[in-house]
Structure 1
């Protein structure tokens, strides 16, 4: 893996449930880990239905393997890249060599 290709900063966020004073449960996202990534397989896609247009772009992030990213899953984690939110659809462990991990993501609305 060439370190020079890791040229974009991303932030990984983790979901947790917070309970307020009167017992309401609320899903909150907090910063989990920040690292540099290689961006690949960008596939822009816009959908139109009933006059509404939304962006469903897909993108892959390749990051270095570490103890923090070894526990990632597609449930409960998301990626922030250039102020956009990407939900993780799948994780490729790159033949389990413990060198890098590829995150297959889809852009989602706020």
Structure 2
């Protein structure tokens, strides 16, 4: 994995570490798009806090914003999540291969000890 891709995955994981940001992503996914004001009405934090959280999500590539008149509407962007999910799947597959090797070695040792 390239340093750039590692950085992108790191940003996503940092952004997702906060439960408020995860809840914001859930709300955006459920409603398609929302403003900071709309999100603040549904969360136990101020509008200013929502804006700060949205900035972190935006920097991680998890949301996009569109200005419509005086409003800024936010929506989920899936590309960064997809890249992070692919990294996690590759990591899991690597561990599965390692565990399968350990299992084969242990089973072979057990068979040899019986012989």
Question: Which TM-score applies when normalising by structure 2?
Answer: 0.31
Of Structure 1 and Structure 2, the greater strand share is in: 1
Question: Which TM-score applies when normalising by structure 1?
Answer: 0.32
Of Structure 1 and Structure 2, the greater helix share is in: 2
